[in-house]
Structure 1
Amino acid sequence: MVTRLRQLTDRHPRPVEAAFLLLIYAATSNQYRRTDTDTIWWPGFVLAAIACTSLLVRRRRPGTVVVLTALVTAVAGIQGSMFGPLLLLPVVVALYELTLRASQRAVRIHSVLAVVILLPTALHPDPGGDPWASRAVSLAFWVLLPVLYGSAVRARRAYLDSVRTRAEDAERTRYEEAQHRVTEERVRIARELHDVVAHHMALANAQAGTAAHLFATHPAQAGRILTELTGTTTAALRELEATVGLLRQPEPAEESLNPAPGLDRLPDLVAAFAAAALHITITVDGPVQPLSAGADLTAFRIVQEALTNVAKHAAVNTAHVNLAYSDEQLTITVSDDGGPVTPPRAPGGGFGLIGMRERAQSAGGRLRAGHRPEGGFAVTAELPISA
């Protein structure tokens, strides 16, 4: 019933408001009778109309409406009308609206004003009515009732608003977290594809260039490099297919058919770059420590990308890889000695250094890259052993 009434009020607010005020007018104006003669006091209809009409602006000027309805009710009571809840009905409605919309200080002030205005009427001698003490208690009750009920409704609305706000904040936080996860996943996918595609394509480009250079003078060696180029492109396609296959799986596979590469594949990496005329030396300092799967993959990808950058951007045919193990950290240094001529940079820039730095940070380490004082370029990554 209450739900239907609220729906009716939401759909037809003006007719419901008019019916509500007419009902108050009918109940209030019927009290404008003289208690001693039981005759209707006709000016009371005008006062009832004033009181009920003022309720139209109770939401905009609640304090003024409280004072006006209290004055009208006091005048009616002084003229001999029956002092009771029906006569006080406009004051009750005005006090309720005031409590919903005004500050607590304003509610206290206007409640006291209403009592001050109505108290003489409540204490007015009435030989045929209730004793003055009973009427004073009745006045206090009907003034406090809308204030207390309005305060409860206001607190309830504030609680519901806070719940709604928290729900909206939680929903927004979940959405932002989902967006953040999507962004992180996109970056991870881009990094994986870059590591797979950029390395093999740069290696294939270097092998093709070397073969073209040797084709006229050393055709046998050029043919051997072209054969290795086929293996490079095949490996690129195989790794790309495996990466895309993992991304298309709805859930992570429990076991991968092809284990993630690690530092144990450095000899294969060195041999592949040797076919592209880049000779790599590997040195190891300290006792070799077993790495976790994440640290092993990160270390291999950083070495792979750093050597790819040497092949693409440095006019040299040698590079150095140093692996320095300590109890808790692996330091990887990939460097070259530079050359007299710097090859032109590939159009569109690149994401090699960005990807390596992101990989190192995701494993709990850090990465530095820059030109060496003695010439050349160096990439240094420090990774925790148990990342």
Structure 2
Amino acid sequence: MRTGPEGYTDRFERYADRHPRVVDAVIVLVLMACAVVGSGLTRPGAAPPQRDATVLVVMGASCLALFTHRSRPRTVTVVNAVCIVAVTALEYVLTPLLLAPVMAALYWLTTHTGLRTARFYSLTTAAALMTTSAVFDPTYPSSPVPRSIGYCFWLLLPLAAGSMTRLRRAYVASVRARAEHAERTREEEARLRATEERMRIARELHDVVAHHLALANAQAGTAAHFALTDPQRTKKILTSLTDTTSSALRDLKTTLGLLRHDSIPASGPLEPSPGLAHLPQLVSACAAAGLTVTVTTTGEARPLTSAVDLTAFRIVQEALTNATKHAAADSADVHLTYEDCRLLITITNGAPSGNTGAAAAAPGPGFGIMGMRERALTAGGEFRAGPRPGGGFEVATSLPLRPTATKASSKTADDPAGEA
């Protein structure tokens, strides 16, 4: 809390905003007292003026007009200018006390309308005062300059004070606007981050739940088909079904563990995020569901960042899940190509055996392809999916990789400037 002059000014402005009539009444009473005192002053060596009710009525009218300075600042200035000219015509000495009401009117005119309008009214008032003083000042013939010209410079003070007040209010308003904008920006950024986090968690849950449920459904259907004809194979499939549901529970627990609050202790350590190292388990689960998956790798496999590794695994997982649910083919191919700066992943499922001309069914409406595309774009890669010309469906993605160290070192060795 500020206790200096600026702090007192802020508190006064806040009080004036809450109680404007009270502040106006106090100011008008003070200005009226100044006018009464100023009307009793005279020149050095001259007799005191014979005050009558006329000057009190005129100055009282000028002060009372100040009550409407918020709604009619120009009219209030004109009324005060006319009143002070009338007081000058009555041969009263112009002093800062008598000029106080018109100075207050000019100050409020500056704060309400601006400096250009206040300058015009101030110059007009000063010219009227000098003209009236030249006509009614008894010492004017002996003095080439009217005595009132010095007091006209007092009219410049409200212009300066009003301009400073106007600039200060504009500065405070701009600071408040910037603070409000910053607050809105922080809130919008927080909402955006929350939305992105919800989307990430929803995408992760979709990949986990949809994949394992699709495999479990396929395994259960296959087990029901061989239940009577091949009990041994049925038992093996049901064992794989148990492994699939257990894996689904573990992945779901890992994903939901990210939502736990820090103050809530977890029941156990969270498992690391899956990656391409988990492809053998994924291939085994698909085989139990009746889908034969062949994985081929071209190029030298390199360690991947956690984000790229998770993205690559989830795309392969979702593509194989779609092949299990929607495709009529019983096989799929996963091809990994490691290049210098990118990893190419292609997942294809061919047409059904015995009907090579028929295209495999494309994935139905859902969030699978949308989620894969979002994952690839988030990792800085590219993605495409669609039917193959010869039948089947293909999913392809390109994910960024860091350049190999050997090539970077050879490039440095070939560059003489690099050696230097």
The SS at the match of 2:385 is: strand
CA distance in 1, matches of 2:147, 2:39: 20
CA distance in 2, matches of 1:14, 1:323: 80
Question: Which piece of structure 1 moves more, 321-330 or 169-178?
Answer: 321-330
Give the C-alpha shift of residue 265 in structure 1. 1.8
CA distance in 2, matches of 1:68, 1:184: 64
CA distance in 2, matches of 1:33, 1:291: 94
Counterpart of 2:54 in structure 1 is 43
Give the C-alpha shift of residue 208 in structure 1. 0.4
Counterpart of 1:297 in structure 2 is 310
CA distance in 2, matches of 1:299, 1:178: 29
Give the C-alpha shift of residue 68 in structure 1. 2.1
Q: Deviations over 1:303-333 (max 9, x none)?
A: 0111001001111111111112211111101
CA distance in 1, matches of 2:389, 2:363: 21
Alignment of 1:1-387 (within 5 A): 9-32=16-39, 35=42, 36-123=47-134, 124-125=136-137, 132=145, 135-140=148-153, 142-248=154-260, 250=262, 258-339=271-352, 340=358, 349-386=365-402
After superposition, the Cα gap between the structure-2 partners of 1:374 and 1:283, relative to the gap in structure 1 and judged at 3 Å, is: same
After superposition, the Cα gap between the structure-2 partners of 1:3 and 1:382, relative to the gap in structure 1 and judged at 3 Å, is: closer
After superposition, the Cα gap between the structure-2 partners of 1:113 and 1:126, relative to the gap in structure 1 and judged at 3 Å, is: same
Give the C-alpha shift of residue 9 in structure 1. 4.0
Give the C-alpha shift of residue 33 in structure 1. 5.2
Given residue 377 of structure 1, which amino acid in structure 2 is its aligned partner?
Answer: F
Give the C-alpha shift of residue 258 in structure 1. 2.8
Counterpart of 2:413 in structure 1 is none
CA distance in 1, matches of 2:225, 2:127: 108
CA distance in 2, matches of 1:10, 1:328: 65
CA distance in 1, matches of 2:361, 2:340: 40
Is the contact made by 1:31 and 1:81 (CA closer than 8 Å) also made in structure 2?
no
After superposition, the Cα gap between the structure-2 partners of 1:345 and 1:300, relative to the gap in structure 1 and judged at 3 Å, is: closer
Question: RCO higher in 1 or 2 (8 Å CA, sep ≥ 6)?
Answer: 1
Given residue 198 of structure 1, which amino acid in structure 2 is its aligned partner?
Answer: A
Is the contact made by 2:319 and 2:395 (CA closer than 8 Å) also made in structure 1?
yes
CA distance in 2, matches of 1:155, 1:213: 85
Q: How many percent identity over aligned positions? A: 47
CA distance in 2, matches of 1:282, 1:38: 114
Given residue 380 of structure 1, which amino acid in structure 2 is its aligned partner?
Answer: A
Given residue 18 of structure 1, which amino acid in structure 2 is its aligned partner?
Answer: A
CA distance in 1, matches of 2:393, 2:360: 12
After superposition, the Cα gap between the structure-2 partners of 1:304 and 1:2, relative to the gap in structure 1 and judged at 3 Å, is: closer
Give the C-alpha shift of residue 6 in structure 1. 5.2
Give the C-alpha shift of residue 189 in structure 1. 0.7
The SS at the match of 1:194 is: helix
Given residue 118 of structure 1, which amino acid in structure 2 is its aligned partner?
Answer: L
Give the C-alpha shift of residue 350 in structure 1. 2.2
Any unmatched runs of 5+ in structure 2? 1-7, 353-357, 404-420
Give the C-alpha shift of residue 52 in structure 1. 1.6
Is the contact made by 1:366 and 1:383 (CA closer than 8 Å) also made in structure 2?
yes
Question: Which piece of structure 1 moves more, 62-71 or 191-200?
Answer: 62-71
The CA RMSD measured in Å over matched residues stands at 2.6
Give the C-alpha shift of residue 49 in structure 1. 2.6
CA distance in 2, matches of 1:216, 1:341: 32
The SS at the match of 1:76 is: helix
Given residue 20 of structure 1, which amino acid in structure 2 is its aligned partner?
Answer: I
